[in-house]
Chains A and B, each alone.
Chain A
Amino acid sequence: DAKTTQPNSMESNEEEPVHLPCNHSTISGTDYIHWYRQLPSQGPEYVIHGLTSNVNNRMASLAIAEDRKSSTLILHRATLRDAAVYYCILPQFYNQGGKLIFGQGTELSVKP
């Protein structure tokens, strides 16, 4: 299983950008990089995913290193609602379904 490494915690100020790093040095050529977050007292929710190119959506941007051994989730303007645990995951897909192995994630706190 491809493993990911993330810092345990990060702090940000409200309305400032946040860069959440993830290392995945054992990634294979077909592994997608997924990011999920878990808000307090909720189930995880999808944030973004990508394979090789940088990706943007309404929630965040994902910057993937050229060698794909690391990636960075970018929240362009953090809000208090973005305080959550962020998980970088390389899902294992087979037989039309995928299982996610969660690491400890990065707990992001946002200061007003």
Chain B
Amino acid sequence: SAVISQKPSRDICQRGTSLTIQCQVDSQVTMMFWYRQQPGQSLTLIATANQGSEATYESGFVIDKFPISRPNLTFSTLTVSNMSPEDSSIYLCSVALDRYTEAFFGQGTRLTVV
């Protein structure tokens, strides 16, 4: 199993600024994932955070806007850069160990951009 802690749990930010979200897992995992959930919508995968190499971004998401760091097997950060009100969403970190077990999610970071 895995327990995921995300910080901050929520924040209100000014447009044009950046916010870095932290994700800490209580065990070593090969890959971590970042999702975005816009208001009233389902979750959308942003990228896969790979330890020791650049993150792999899904279509529609770019590194300049959502830089991701993964310094070790238990920690990752997602930065939302140059924020606009359209970035107001919940951002979630997740790990999925293998096909035989479940995926685990953090509680999310609720971001409001004003």
Interchain CB contact (< 8 A) of B95 among A32, A87, A97: A97
User: A97 contacts B31, CB within 8 Å?
Assistant: yes
- Select from chain A the residue with minimum beta-carbon distance to B32: A97
B96 sits at the interface (CB 8 A): yes
Interchain CB contact (< 8 A) of A104 among B42, B92, B98: B42
Rounded to whole Å, the gap between the CB of A100 and the closest CB of chain B is: 6
A34 sits at the interface (CB 8 A): yes
The CA-CA distance from A102 to B104 in the complex, in Å, is 14
Of the stretches B12-20, B43-51, B76-84, the one at the interface is: B43-51
A17 sits at the interface (CB 8 A): no
User: A93 contacts B31, CB within 8 Å?
Assistant: no
Instruction: Please give me the 3 A-B residue pairs with the lowest Cβ-Cβ distance, nearest first.
Output: A97-B31, A46-B102, A43-B105
A residues near B (Cβ < 8 Å) are 30, 32, 34, 36, 42-46, 49, 85, 87, 91, 93, 95-105
Q: Beyond the given A97-B32, A100-B33, please list 12 additional residue pairs across the A-B interface where CB-CB is below 8 A.
A: A32-B100, A43-B107, A43-B108, A46-B103, A85-B42, A91-B99, A91-B103, A93-B96, A98-B97, A98-B99, A99-B96, A100-B103
B residues near A (Cβ < 8 Å) are 29-33, 35, 42-45, 48, 92, 94-100, 102-108
| CB-defined A-B contacts under 8 Å, sample of 13 | A32-B99, A42-B108, A43-B92, A85-B42, A87-B42, A93-B99, A95-B30, A96-B98, A97-B97, A98-B99, A99-B33, A100-B45, A100-B103
